[in-house]
Amino acid sequence: MSEVKNLYLKYDNFTISIPKLELLDQGVTALCGPNGSGKTTVVRALLGLEKATGMEWVFKGEDLARLKPADRKIGVVFQGLELFPHMSARQNVMFAASARNISKTEAEGKLKELSNLLNVDHFLDQSVSVLSGGEKQRTALMRALIGSPRMLFLDEPFSALDKHLRTEARKLIKSIVAKHNIPALLVTHDDDDLKELASKVIYLDNGRVQTT
């Protein structure tokens, strides 16, 4: 279990006030709540993209809140995926590898392993701008995983997929979390996501944790 303390953020007409938050260090912790409840803001604060002064996040004895965003080593898949549109799927993944200073040989080995797991071989060298929604999502997942992150953040990753693809994607996430033994934080407001994936659910409303 990793513990987040003193997560306070204040905006003009919105406040995040979370004195304590516990995230699983195995399996999927789901962060759910209605639109505008502050889910994405909490994720951005944990990633270090929003400055939450005084926040602590002790993960296996280390306070991640003191680290720069990149040094927190969290793999992330945002709702918009944020793939680099001028690159191929392979280049997107290899960019992440070179950003983490992974040697080319090691990166290629990992890429092979991930592409087998995610079944992406057939589109790896295509530009991401021509990929389907599901293919894009798998590329984003691969990119998030290649740096061997300590945790995986998934911010409403299924929102752009149709019902059939959502089921597939959930299965995929479940197998990745199990196979890589990597804890994940899933932001969602979909009950099916909670049923299928969540080991723990944190309910957020109006910037405050209601129930866990």
Q: How many helices (H) and strands (E) does the chain have?
A: 6, 10
**By rule CB under 8 A, what string of x and - marks binding of each residue 65-84 to another protein?**
----xxx-xx-x-x-x-x-x
Q: Is 18 exposed, middle or buried (0-12, 13-18, 19+ CB in 10 A)?
A: buried
Query: Can you tell me the distance from the alpha carbon of 174 to that of 103, in angstroms, rounded to the nearest whole number?
Result: 28
Query: Which residues ranging from 81 to 110 are in contact with another protein (CB under 8 A)?
Result: 82, 84-87, 95-96, 98-101
Q: What is the residue type of 105?
A: T
Site string (131-170) toward another protein, x via CB under 8 A: ------------x---x-----------------------
The interface with another protein within residues 3-62 (CB under 8 A) comprises: 47, 49
CB of 211 to another protein, least distance (A): 30
Instruction: Tell me how far the alpha carbon of residue 14 is from its chain's centroid.
Output: 24
Classify the C-alpha dihedral 49-201-184-129 as positive or negative: negative
Binding site for another protein (CB under 8 A): 47, 49, 69-71, 73-74, 76, 78, 80, 82, 84-87, 95-96, 98-101, 143, 147
